[in-house]
Amino acid sequence: MNTRNWHLSGLLAAVTFALVAVHSTGCSKSNDIGKTVPEQAAEVVAPPVEKLPDPEADWSGLVEKATAHLEADELEEAQQCLAACAKVYEAPLLPSEEQQTKLAELTTRLADKREVLAMKRRDENLVDAEKLMDLGKFTEAVQKLNEVKALAPTDQQRTRASAIADQIESMRKARRDLQLWIQMLGTDRRKDVAAAQANLLKKPEIALGMLLEASENIENPILAANALEALRLLNRPDITAPAMLAVLRRTEQQQVWPAAIRELVRMQRPGAGEPLLELALSTELPEQRAAALTALSQVIDPPKQTLVAMLPLLQQDGPVLAAALRATYHAVSKHEQYDLQARRGLDVALTAEQEQQLSQRLVKLIELPADNEDTAEVIQAAKVLAYATRQLTPQPLANVQVRYAEAQEDDGPASAVLDGVWNSVDLNTMWRHPVAKSSTIVLDLGQAQTVMGVRIWNFNQVSGTQRGWKDVEIFVSDSPTEADPIARGIVPPAPGAADTPDYSTLVPVPFARGRYVRLQAKKLWTSDTYTGVSEIQILGF
């Protein structure tokens, strides 16, 4: 029966129903003779006309949906639409040849897309299997290979899967040989740990996965800590840094947090700053927040937004305040965000209100009574951040004395650098010594203080300005001698005249704390009979 016959049948049924309804009404009236008839007859409501099936429209709608799903790579949905298409027509009705052709075309497209997807999935599983194998996760790697085999792989894929499986088996054997060295990492005897690490590093491709597993060991914190050190020695920061961060995220590995911090800092590779800041802001555990902030204050890549992100923490008192102040200063120093008013170096907005809150908070912390070690630590960290962000201006330190000078003339003693006279050409007001001796002087601050800079007025002799220092190195420590300089600068020649504008040079020092400051001239402007400087000031707090 065609569509036209369907419509005729429906029309005849409607007409027949109407005639029956009229006849029934007439019969009802004849039977009710003699009864009271209401003034208004009840309204006759026609029954709803049932919508007739339209298989052609249903089929077209399903085909349209199936096509859209195929375009969007929604293969399961497309399959459901095509399966529904096959059920639209019922005998004796059949889809036209054109419809059957369209259905066959869509079915073929679906099969092709499934094959492409399966090929992609097999290739991805092979890549994942190799990655898992490199990480020493052999069981997971074998599972990926089994998935490849279950998806009807090509000959090339089957060959590659077999090669990976053989490699896994070979690595499993080598892993068993290295297991003894992994066990030795669980001891606190440094000699045994060093021997174990040396042997593990001989086969880094095998040791990597084993060390990653050992770093997650909860029962043996010593093993985990020594494994982290060995991971750093492997020089694979792309893999080892996430492992160290993962240790800091596990509350059950709190004993290993110091080792994770130490190895992250020693690695000196970027990538840890952002995760550390996120952890510090998200955790509610004070010990974990302190660990994240301690690491953040030392890694080489603190995020530029650290200052603004840390403002809420800086307003809170508690055990992590000092660590928060240090981490904030580290980011400020790293990105040279010293001029807050100009917003230099800031990638995120810092409002005037936030800047004022920071300034008021730092002043409040600096004014705290240093009645215990923790408070003294907070005060020190607050001062460093306040000076770094120019909330405070560094001043010359008082009561500085000369602890040692390599050489000096009787009429040009080393103590002359602290007499406060710099605008004179009188040689008695300058430290002078023979060039044959090392140009070294050590200043005693009286107690450990924070040094922010050293101001130097060069040798100011008339017609002898070239006798002054040129290249100077600065050392700060709790000992009069120190191996490595922390700052270095060039000191321009003096004008060679009295009562001139200030010609001093300020050599910045990165907030070094110590009692002694040693200055040493590495080069002079000229090699003459003698050299020296007029005045030295130590700036800090």
15, two tokens: 């007409």
**For residue 42, what pLDDT is reported?**
56
d(CA 416, CA 61): 99
For the segment 232-288, what is each residue's pLDDT rounded down to a tens digit?
999 999 999 999 999 999 999 999 999 999 999 999 999 999 999 999 999 999 999
Domains and CATH numbers, the chain: 59-184 (no CATH), 216-388 (1.25.10), 396-540 (2.60.120.260)
For the segment 96-150, what is each residue's pLDDT rounded down to a tens digit?
888 889 889 999 999 998 888 888 889 999 999 988 887 778 889 989 999 998 8
481, two tokens: 């001698």
Whether the per-residue pLDDT at 5 is higher than 80: the answer is no
Mean pLDDT of 499-517: 94
Mean pLDDT of 335-349: 82
Residue 20 or 446, more confident: 446
d(CA 373, CA 280): 23
Angle at the Cα of 140 from the Cα atoms of 136 and 143, rounded to 5 degrees: 140
Angstrom distances, CA of residue 191 to CA of 196, 263, 476: 9, 19, 34
Whether the per-residue pLDDT at 23 is higher than 70: the answer is no
Residue 95 has phi, psi (to 5 degrees) of -65, 150
400 contacts 451 by C-beta, under 8 angstroms: no
Closest by CA to 151, choosing from 172, 127, 123, 189, is 123
Residue 450 has phi, psi (to 5 degrees) of -95, 120
